[in-house]
Amino acid sequence: MAFKNSLFIAIVYAATLLQLSCGNQKNEHGPKTDVESKEFKEKLVDANKIYVKKESDEIDQYVKHKGWDMITTGSGLRYMMTQKGTGVMPATEQVVRLNFKVKLLDGTLCYSSDSTGVYEFMVDKSSVETGLHEGVKLMHVGEKATMILPSHLAYGLIGDEKRIPPRASVLYELELLSVK
């Protein structure tokens, strides 16, 4: 069943890429009409909604299995604070410094500040995962949190082409060290 779902998703995305690359070309029946384009886009949106729902259900099962009490934001980010902090909360354009671990939901450690050093980025301005921007703004300096980013808030359709596969939900263990 999982293979069939993955195959369906791969076909939908291949069709999307083909559509985007050939969108301005005429086919043997003439140019696509606005109605045909709209129908295609609606089908693509529907297929993506199905995938997002499936991924959300899988994350919920993972959280339940772990016995965690996580909060879910409107975007789909799940988080829980594991150590209280008393410092300030970061805002847009402030630079944050974090200790972190990034894992796949199967437990595979992908990245860690233990090996790469403290992570530093500007909130809402750096090109890091969307979910990471959202998540750090929920923390106080000194706080530790566990967060699960669904793929659309993490590394997306292609992963990072190194250690994180395409469409992977990722688990972050974060400690907010400072805000500048």
Q: Which helix (H) or strand (E) holds 98?
A: strand 95-104
User: Structural domain tally of the chain?
Assistant: 2
Q: Does the pLDDT of residue 38 top 80, yes or no?
A: yes
The answer on 87 and 47 residing in a single domain is no
Range of the structural domain that residue 164 is part of: 71-179
Q: Indicate if the pLDDT at residue 129 is higher than 80.
A: yes
Structure tokens at 9: 């998703």
Q: Which of 18, 39, 66 is the last residue of a domain?
A: 66
Residue 21: its pLDDT value, please?
52
Point out the domain boundary residue: 66, 89, 113.
66
Residue 18 confidence (pLDDT) above 90: no
How far is Cα 163 from Cα 48, in angstroms, rounded to an integer?
A: 24
pLDDT at 82: 98
Q: Which of 26-40, 47-61, 94-108 has the lowest mean pLDDT?
A: 26-40
